[in-house]
Structure 1
Amino acid sequence: MTSGAGALAAAVAPITSAGNARLGIAVLAGIALIILLITRLSMHAFLALTIGSLALGVFAGAPLEKTLASFTAGLGSTVAGVGVLIALGAILGRLLADSGGADEIVDTILARAKGRAMPWAMVLIASVIGLPLFFEVGIVLLIPVVLLVARRGGYSLMRIGIPALAGLSVMHGLIPPHPGPLVAIDALHANLGVTLALGVLVAIPTVIIAGPLFSRYAARWVDIQAPEQLTTAPSEPVDRAHRPRFGATVATVLLPVALMLVKALVDIVVDDKTNGVQKVTDIIGAPMIALLAAVLVGMFTLGRAAGFTRARLSVTVEKSLAPIAGILLIVGAGGGFKQTLIDAGVGRMVLDLSESWSVPALLLAWLIAVAIRLATGSATVATISAAGLAAPLAAGMSTTETALLVLAIGAGSLFFSHVNDAGFWLVKEYFGMDVGQTLKTWSVMETIISVVGLGFVLLLSLVL
């Protein structure tokens, strides 16, 4: 595996002539300002990232006009690269929720799971539903089910809840088409299909260890029952007789993943860009086409199956797009921050430091993501920013090595969620825990995902 010392940075003139010491201070100051604006002043993350990016340039001694150009270029390219994918994922998620397809998946699996099998059922539900849904949407959708199962079955809330949270979190951090992994793939010029295939290999054992296995200990540390008041899912209720079939629902959800995996397999087996089969799979396996196909299929297998008229389908699509405006802005601003870091020469600084540290590239990328995650509280911002910082490390890497670099960053972005993470407070409030209990369960679970995920990435790097 390529080491940090062996990678070469692209020969692009930085926007500042600051040395490593001043540049390092500027980076820390910019990140600290973002944290202060978000946590202390309750400023929206988009504004905080914008101000922090400009402040980073000022602290590093870069001309303001060059800093602005770097930020806007990064914002534009990031939104252009992943904006359509985020929109298509939101539409598919809304179709899944409003049609009752998500309820059908949950009810079918729970009907077949009893006793000790229940935590495994919950991690399976969360992993399947978490494929097309954003983490926050998945929580809102699954928490009512988690609370209901725990109360009716007499289970400890942690025994049921931790597996569900682990399934959602692993999907969010490691598996495209979630925004963080997609942006990292784009920034490092990784192969999406290969990253997806390796991500699944890493995700399966990671979610087992952090979910059903860790939940045994979490239930002992924090033995609480489900709160009395259940929250409701955001979708309109659909009569079970009119829900889409279980098989059709699962097939629709897995369609984009299947198309991307087919492309990855053909790329590996054929590896000939002039081959007709590879040309076809390159098209249908492209993330935008794969997600678009799932959305179009979902309009029939989910929407029409639930009795939606064309007008109702139109309303569902319209409602799905409005909530993602903030996500797009935050992701875009994170891309602007990333580009400002790159153009300021932080990538070169990271390489200089890595030469003295002699840290392997995968471990270095993970450590960078961990540091940004702890500082900002956002897994997506950590992934985007770390991808920008680690981009020089990918120079000269093979396709497999670059994919593993993306996964190392994704694993690092999930490390130890704490009080500056919105997900921390979401879990705390839904589960009725105090801060200490949330740290001992949710925060430890996130750390296990991060460390175990890195471990499996490193193991793959030894055999691939």
Structure 2
Amino acid sequence: MTRLSVEMLAADAPAPITSAGHAQLGIAVLAGIAVIVLLITQFKLHAFLSLTIGSLALGAIAGAPLDKVLTSFTTGLGATVAGVGVLIALGAILGKMLADSGGADQIVDTILAKAGGRAMPWAMVLIASVIGLPLFFEVGVVLLIPVVLMVAKRGNYSLMRIGIPALAGLSVMHGLVPPHPGPLVAIDAVKANLGVTLALGVLVAIPTVIIAGPLFSRYAARWVDVPAPDRMIPQRASEELENRPGFGATLATILLPVVLMLSKALVDILIDDPTNLTQRVFDVIGSPLIALLAAVLVGIFTLLRPAGFGRERLTPLVEKGLAPIAGILLIVGAGGGFKQTLIDTGVGRMILDISKDWSIPALLLAWLIAVGIRLATGSATVATVSAAGLVAPLAADMSTTHTALLVLAIGAGSLFFSHVNDAGFWLVKEYFGLSVGQTIKTWSVMETIISVVAGGLVLLLSLVI
């Protein structure tokens, strides 16, 4: 059944741009990653240029035509910027509105007053888990990290002590808990029960996020002790403001995109008819772009007007909000280009071919395959889709609970060790102002802890239910 799944998946996949064998591809992957790391760490070359050169090196060593390598890289860069870039831009505008109006001050001051001291990491992981449930990881970062940076700065907390729990909450939701898009893809592929998967996903997610978030952050803060980067922190609004938005209005504005996207997910589950008018409406208003755009427009009335901002101040505010993210957009886009080059050279197919004859339990097989594809391509989504397609036939003889656990095993494996071929790696690095090594010590290790702990809990549950 596993071999049949591989053949079906391979039939649907586009032909690679090179005919290199597995050994050559493996060498090309290692060389491409080594070039990127060496250029950044030793030669201090900008990450955008390093990723571009690393992609070309990967393609050349894999024996792919240079024109096709360039096409793969630019296609991946364009797709990443199209999918994430606009969201980052809208999030930056919303963050600037929150900062200049005093709304961010209101949120941070309230959090500091209600959850100080040792409770702060737990408060951040809870907030991130709630916000991250319906969101793509990148959207959650855009909405939450500016608040994390402000809390760390104002409350004099270690950035890693506050940031790691927030990232853990977002990442665990991303990989394990429907109605997040990743788990929903796997649920559909293996025909799992949504309700059972949701219940077991929450059961696995709670201890996983505690271990990878508040507990691991203690060690991460010792390994990497860096201040919140001033260039990414929304500055405190001028003390000359006579008024600032209320806590309720500010919180409602921040949560508006979350509510709209969660509503879309729920409507998709309840109706599941693409021709239904209600579902089509929610598909539009619940898309990340429209949801964030709506928050920006609503913020004009809930944030700027109460603070006394006139129309003439809106354009300068937007321009100032966009300025700090230019470098981030290029780096994240180049990370997407490197990922697409890996995929188009056939690295994902290589992993599937190597794993098709493994004789191990289905849940462990699903986790290992997802891990391999994640390491090779840098994409949790590609890892989820590919692993689910590979092991789907194995679910035919499984019980309802074990089919749900199969989905969770795939999700856990798809989060393993994010590194330089993952756009999320560069997003976290730039927002937190870390070096490549510091990002690996914190973010990459945290992702690995999530993957291993969640995978272990899934295997444990399979023995008792």
TM interval, shorter chain, is 0.7 to 0.9
Which residue of 2 is the match for residue 361 of structure 1? 366
Q: Provide, for residues 298-326 of structure 1, a one-character-per-residue CA deviation record: whole Å limited to 9, x for no partner.
A: 22212222222222222221112222222
- Cα separation, partners in 2 of 1:48 and 1:390, compared to 1, 3 Å: farther
Shift of 1:213: 4.5
SS at match of 1:133: helix
Q: Provide, for residues 191-241 of structure 1, a one-character-per-residue CA deviation record: whole Å limited to 9, x for no partner.
A: 9xx9xx9999576654433344556x659x9699999x9979442434486
Correspondences of 1:75-90 after superposition (within 5 Å):
75-90=77-92
Which residue of 2 is the match for residue 379 of structure 1? none
Q: Provide, for residues 238-266 of structure 1, a one-character-per-residue CA deviation record: whole Å limited to 9, x for no partner.
A: 44862211111111111111111111111
Which residue of 1 is the match for residue 162 of structure 2? 164
- Cα separation, partners in 2 of 1:300 and 1:39, compared to 1, 3 Å: same
Residue identity in the other structure for 2:113? A
**What's the C-alpha RMSD, in Å, of the aligned pairs?**
4.8
- Cα separation, partners in 2 of 1:316 and 1:224, compared to 1, 3 Å: closer
Residue identity in the other structure for 2:155? V
Task: Report how many residues are paired.
Answer: 420
The answer on whether the counterparts of 2:261 and 2:288 sit within 8 Å (CA) in structure 1 is: yes
The one of 102, 105, 111 aligned to 1:103: 105
Residue identity in the other structure for 2:305? R
What is the rounded CA distance, in whole Å, between the counterparts of 1:271 and 1:37 in structure 2? 48
Which residue of 2 is the match for residue 376 of structure 1? none
Q: Provide, for residues 83-104 of structure 1, a one-character-per-residue CA deviation record: whole Å limited to 9, x for no partner.
A: 2222112212222223222221
Residue identity in the other structure for 1:292? L
Which residue of 1 is the match for residue 398 of structure 2? none
Matched, 1:6 2:5: yes
Correspondences of 1:224-235 after superposition (within 5 Å):
233-235=233-235
- Cα separation, partners in 2 of 1:230 and 1:422, compared to 1, 3 Å: closer
- Cα separation, partners in 2 of 1:80 and 1:115, compared to 1, 3 Å: closer
The answer on whether the counterparts of 1:242 and 1:306 sit within 8 Å (CA) in structure 2 is: yes
Residue identity in the other structure for 1:63? P
Q: Provide, for residues 17-58 of structure 1, a one-character-per-residue CA deviation record: whole Å limited to 9, x for no partner.
A: 111111111111111111111111111111111111111111
The one of 398, 407, 414 aligned to 1:409: 414
Q: Provide, for residues 94-115 of structure 1, a one-character-per-residue CA deviation record: whole Å limited to 9, x for no partner.
A: 2222322222112223323466
SS at match of 1:244: coil
Which residue of 1 is the match for residue 265 of structure 2? 264
The answer on whether the counterparts of 1:243 and 1:305 sit within 8 Å (CA) in structure 2 is: yes
Which residue of 2 is the match for residue 291 of structure 1? 292
Matched, 1:307 2:308: yes
Correspondences of 1:375-386 after superposition (within 5 Å):
383-384=378-379
What is the rounded CA distance, in whole Å, between the counterparts of 1:76 and 1:199 in structure 2? 37
Identify unmatched segments of 5+ residues in structure 1: 151-156, 177-181, 373-381
Residue identity in the other structure for 1:6? S
What is the rounded CA distance, in whole Å, between the counterparts of 2:446 and 2:289 in structure 1? 32
What is the rounded CA distance, in whole Å, between the counterparts of 2:434 and 2:49 in structure 1? 26
Shift of 1:132: 5.5
- Cα separation, partners in 2 of 1:350 and 1:198, compared to 1, 3 Å: farther
What is the rounded CA distance, in whole Å, between the counterparts of 2:346 and 2:333 in structure 1? 20
Which residue of 1 is the match for residue 35 of structure 2? 33
SS at match of 2:245: coil
Shift of 1:444: 6.2
Which residue of 1 is the match for residue 151 of structure 2? 142
The answer on whether the counterparts of 2:182 and 2:384 sit within 8 Å (CA) in structure 1 is: no
Which residue of 1 is the match for residue 326 of structure 2? 325
- Cα separation, partners in 2 of 1:29 and 1:162, compared to 1, 3 Å: closer
What is the rounded CA distance, in whole Å, between the counterparts of 2:226 and 2:75 in structure 1? 47
Residue identity in the other structure for 2:346? G
What is the rounded CA distance, in whole Å, between the counterparts of 1:49 and 1:247 in structure 2? 43
Residue identity in the other structure for 2:387? L
- Cα separation, partners in 2 of 1:12 and 1:231, compared to 1, 3 Å: closer
- Cα separation, partners in 2 of 1:212 and 1:425, compared to 1, 3 Å: same
Correspondences of 1:446-457 after superposition (within 5 Å):
447-452=448-453, 454=455
Q: Provide, for residues 100-146 of structure 1, a one-character-per-residue CA deviation record: whole Å limited to 9, x for no partner.
A: 22221122233234666454345456778994637874554232123
- Cα separation, partners in 2 of 1:450 and 1:252, compared to 1, 3 Å: farther
Shift of 1:338: 1.8
SS at match of 2:18: coil
What is the rounded CA distance, in whole Å, between the counterparts of 1:4 and 1:214 in structure 2? 39
- Cα separation, partners in 2 of 1:250 and 1:403, compared to 1, 3 Å: farther
What is the rounded CA distance, in whole Å, between the counterparts of 2:169 and 2:414 in structure 1? 14
Which residue of 2 is the match for residue 281 of structure 1? 282
Correspondences of 1:245-260 after superposition (within 5 Å):
245-260=246-261
What is the rounded CA distance, in whole Å, between the counterparts of 1:338 and 1:211 in structure 2? 27
What is the rounded CA distance, in whole Å, between the counterparts of 1:365 and 1:200 in structure 2? 17
Identify unmatched segments of 5+ residues in structure 2: 133-139, 175-179, 396-403
SS at match of 1:274: coil
What is the rounded CA distance, in whole Å, between the counterparts of 1:258 and 1:174 in structure 2? 19
Residue identity in the other structure for 2:75? A
Residue identity in the other structure for 1:393? A
The answer on whether the counterparts of 2:128 and 2:144 sit within 8 Å (CA) in structure 1 is: no
The answer on whether the counterparts of 2:28 and 2:61 sit within 8 Å (CA) in structure 1 is: yes
Matched, 1:45 2:41: no
SS at match of 1:413: coil
Residue identity in the other structure for 2:55? S
Which residue of 2 is the match for residue 133 of structure 1? 142
Which residue of 1 is the match for residue 73 of structure 2? 71
The answer on whether the counterparts of 2:101 and 2:307 sit within 8 Å (CA) in structure 1 is: yes
What is the rounded CA distance, in whole Å, between the counterparts of 1:225 and 1:392 in structure 2? 38
- Cα separation, partners in 2 of 1:447 and 1:82, compared to 1, 3 Å: closer
If the length of structure 2 is used for normalisation, what is the TM-score? Answer: 0.72
Greater Cα offset, 108-117 or 18-27: 108-117
What is the rounded CA distance, in whole Å, between the counterparts of 2:368 and 2:330 in structure 1? 30
- Cα separation, partners in 2 of 1:224 and 1:53, compared to 1, 3 Å: closer
The answer on whether the counterparts of 1:363 and 1:408 sit within 8 Å (CA) in structure 2 is: yes
SS at match of 1:360: helix
- Cα separation, partners in 2 of 1:236 and 1:112, compared to 1, 3 Å: closer
The answer on whether the counterparts of 1:57 and 1:64 sit within 8 Å (CA) in structure 2 is: yes
The answer on whether the counterparts of 1:15 and 1:345 sit within 8 Å (CA) in structure 2 is: yes
